[in-house]
């Protein structure tokens, strides 16, 4: 399978729309059986990359292998073995839930009997059995999302591409989906996920890259990234609106200081100690919170932005 067993192998991959470069030369290597994440703010180039991997968007430059094949030459053969959840649902809203699965499976050369059995299994997987015979149009956004995900599994894909799979889902549905994705991974399905949610990336991804402006700005496992780009703990201090934050008073107390519109973030190994020291210097925040560092902090450090804006 491709270079050193990678399911996806990209070198200096470029995607250009006219004069505008959405992806500016990225290197990616996704191994069999892992869950790989693309993180990044709006417009970072995540979806553009996913579409190239899905073999529905030709690359402008660089090298790309998916399942060991070249998308340009073997697009249909690669697509036959992929599952794709696009960022925007594209179900046939005038068909029933079950018909959407039937019809889609047939495009993968599956027999009617096979598709029928598989659809029943997937409806159960996505907890949509009750709604199987209903038209898709009036379903809630979360149900449509679950159906799109179920549909992507109709051909038992070896590589599943999920572009913001849980956007628009309520917390319960997100956890259900995480559980399902985890099960797929256990069964040996390789996952590529884009997300804006740090907790999702931390929960699901073995490895991830942070993209910004079409480039990869960091790469590693969630804990590696936190270790490399952040401190163990973060102290968050809030001050009354309109009152200037006393940044100067906090000088030298922590490794790094981020000023957000509504709060200060103090990066340190020991949050409680810094809080006590700040108090001693007369700093009086409205509220304070000591927490563990997350990918959100890594992201903020790397891009200077919060992820969900």
List the structure tokens of 260.
């957000």
Return d(Cα 145, Cα 188) in angstroms, integer. 23
Range in contact with ligand ATP (rule: CB under 6 A) among 42-50, 139-147, 153-161, 234-242: 42-50
Element at 198 (helix H, strand E): helix 198-204
17 counts as binding ligand ATP under rule CB under 6 A: yes
Return d(Cα 204, Cα 210) in angstroms, integer. 15
Interacting residue with ligand ATP among 16, 87, 96, 203 (CB under 6 A): 87
Range in contact with ligand ATP (rule: CB under 6 A) among 44-52, 225-233, 237-245, 252-260: 44-52
CB burial class (10 A; 0-12, 13-18, 19+) of residue 284?
exposed
DSSP SS3 for 248: helix
Can you tell me which residue has the tokens 């996913």? 50
40 counts as binding ligand ATP under rule CB under 6 A: yes
58 counts as binding another protein under rule CB under 8 A: yes
47 counts as binding Mg ion under rule CB under 5 A: yes
Please answer whether residues 236 and 288 qualify as being in contact, where contact means their C-beta atoms are separated by less than 8 angstroms.
Answer: yes
Range in contact with ligand ATP (rule: CB under 6 A) among 36-44, 109-117, 173-181, 256-264: 36-44
Interacting residue with ligand ATP among 3, 5, 12, 42 (CB under 6 A): 42
- Where residue 172 falls (left for φ over 0; alpha for ψ -120 to 50; beta otherwise) is alpha
34 counts as binding another protein under rule CB under 8 A: yes
Q: How many CB atoms lie within 10 A of CB 10?
A: 23
Applying CB under 6 A, which residues contact ligand ATP? 17, 20, 22, 40, 42-48, 87
Applying CB under 8 A, which residues contact another protein? 5, 17, 31-34, 54, 56-58, 75-77, 79-82, 84, 86, 88, 90-95, 99, 102-104, 106-110, 114, 151, 155-158, 187-190, 206
Applying CB under 5 A, which residues contact Mg ion? 46-47, 87
């Amino acid at each position: 399978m491709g270079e050193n067993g990678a399911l996806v192998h990209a070198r200096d991959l470029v995607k250009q729309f006219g004069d505008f470069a959405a992806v500016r030369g990225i290197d990616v290597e996704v191994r069999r059986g892992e869950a790989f994440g693309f993180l990044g703010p709006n417009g970072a180039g995540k979806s553009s990359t996913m579409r190239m991997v899905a073999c529905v968007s030709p690359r402008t430059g660089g090298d790309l292998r998916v399942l060991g094949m070249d998308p340009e030459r073997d697009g249909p053969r690669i697509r036959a073995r992929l599952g794709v959840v696009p960022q925007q649902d594209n179900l046939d809203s005038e068909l029933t839930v079950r018909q959407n699965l039937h019809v889609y499976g047939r495009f993968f050369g599956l027999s009617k009997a096979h598709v029928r059995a598989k659809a029943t299994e997937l409806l159960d997987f996505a907890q949509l059995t009750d709604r199987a015979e209903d038209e898709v149009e009036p379903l809630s956004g979360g149900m449509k999302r679950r159906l799109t995900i179920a549909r992507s599994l109709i051909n038992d894909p070896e590589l599943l591409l999920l572009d913001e799979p849980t956007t628009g889902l309520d917390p319960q549905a997100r956890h259900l989906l995480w559980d399902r994705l985890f099960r797929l991974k256990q069964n040996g399905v390789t996952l590529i996920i884009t997300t804006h949610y740090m907790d999702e990336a931390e929960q699901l991804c073995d490895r991830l890259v942070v993209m910004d402006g079409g480039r990869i700005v960091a790469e590693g496992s969630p804990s590696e990234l936190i270790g490399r780009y952040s401190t163990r703990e973060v102290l968050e201090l809030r001050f009354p609106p309109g009152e200037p934050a006393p940044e100067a008073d906090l000088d030298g107390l922590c490794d790094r200081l981020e000023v957000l519109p509504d709060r200060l973030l103090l990066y340190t190994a020991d949050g409680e100690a810094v809080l006590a020291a700040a108090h001693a210097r007369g700093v009086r925040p409205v509220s304070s919170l000591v927490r563990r560092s997350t990918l959100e902090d890594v992201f903020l450090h790397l891009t200077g932005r919060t992820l969900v804006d």
